[in-house]
Amino acid sequence: MKKMLLFFGLTALLLTGAAPSQAKTEWELLRDIRLDEKPIDVAMSADGSTAFILTKQTSAFILTRQSIKIYDMQDGRVVDTIPLNKKYTGISTAPRGNILLLTSSSDKSISILQISQSIELTVGTSPVIGPRQAPVTLTAFIDFQCPYCSREFPVIEELLSKYPNDLNVVLKHFPLRSHKFAAEAAVAALAADRQGKYRELTQAMFKNFRSLNEETLKKYAEETGLDLQKFEQDRKDSAFQKQIQEDRQLARKADVRGVPSLYINGQPVTNRSPQGMAAMIDEALKKK
């Protein structure tokens, strides 16, 4: 009798456990991507912002030709094309976002393709240090109370001295909320630009980033040779707040995660040493 009860108990338990869950999947078609060429395979960037679409074009007059279409998910359009001189059957992305893996079944191979995408960083109304028409622009997102930014600025000035005719620098203001006086310092730098003293006050504030406050700012402004009355009046201009907000929006577009973030002709700088950035500048000059 006990065995019978045990049997029925186990059977009920198993039947209960085997019952399928009533999970419900909801879905929504976001968009159709229309292409001029036949898609073969697709891979997504790690952040989901870009689709890399392997395509082929065939016709009676043109031999099969393959390419990678770079599709911007936010803009909803193909922004660039990478031509290929070999036939591939698949594409995927490596954990590092700038590596694509292309597989070829016909010759049993995998091609590793490193890509480098430029970001359009408009100058707008930002002050420009160096010749405005220089072929190479170093864009830096900075915070005047950031110790790493203060260390990087002398490197930037060293590069300006090395490339006096070929390099200019655009500082974009990205004051961190954790730095209480950073936003005021950014406004002060922009106000100093109206008197042609942007670079000079920037140098002074980075050199003394640990002691920045309202009292010391006036001292540095006076030492820089600013007309203090005009300086104080200009600091009240709401246009500077608007400009800093535009810099923040540009930072979000460029996916800036911290400061300093540096770009040479739109290419992210990964090696911030003088030698590393000089190599990038030299490479950019060759392309020009």
pLDDT, tens digit, for every residue of 46-99? 888 899 999 998 765 656 789 999 998 888 999 899 999 999 999 999 886 689
Question: Residues 4-51: pLDDT tens digits?
Answer: 444 344 444 444 555 556 778 898 888 889 898 999 999 998 888 899
The answer to whether residue 107 scores a pLDDT higher than 80 is: yes
Helix, strand, coil shares of the chain, percent, nearest 5, are: 35, 25, 40
User: Would you tell me the crossing angle of helices 198-207 and 214-224 to the nearest 10 degrees?
Assistant: 130
**Contact 200/225 with Cβ under 8 angstroms?**
yes
The answer to whether residue 129 scores a pLDDT higher than 80 is: yes
Who contacts 130 (Cβ-Cβ below 8 Å, separation ≥6)? 160, 164, 167, 168, 169
User: Would you tell me the crossing angle of helices 182-193 and 239-253 to the nearest 10 degrees?
Assistant: 110
Q: Does the domain spanning 128-287 belong to CATH 3.40.30.10?
A: yes
Residue bearing the bigger pLDDT, 96 or 115: 115
* Domain range list for the chain: 38-114, 128-287
pLDDT at 104: 94
Minimal CA–CA distance to 174: which of 205, 198, 142, 152? 142
The CA–CA distances, whole Å, from 194 to 53, 104, 231, 236 equal: 48, 59, 8, 13
Q: How far apart are CA 281 and CA 92, in angstroms?
A: 31
Who contacts 4 (Cβ-Cβ below 8 Å, separation ≥6)? none
Question: Residues 206-260: pLDDT tens digits?
Answer: 999 999 999 999 999 999 999 999 999 999 999 999 999 999 999 998 889 899 9
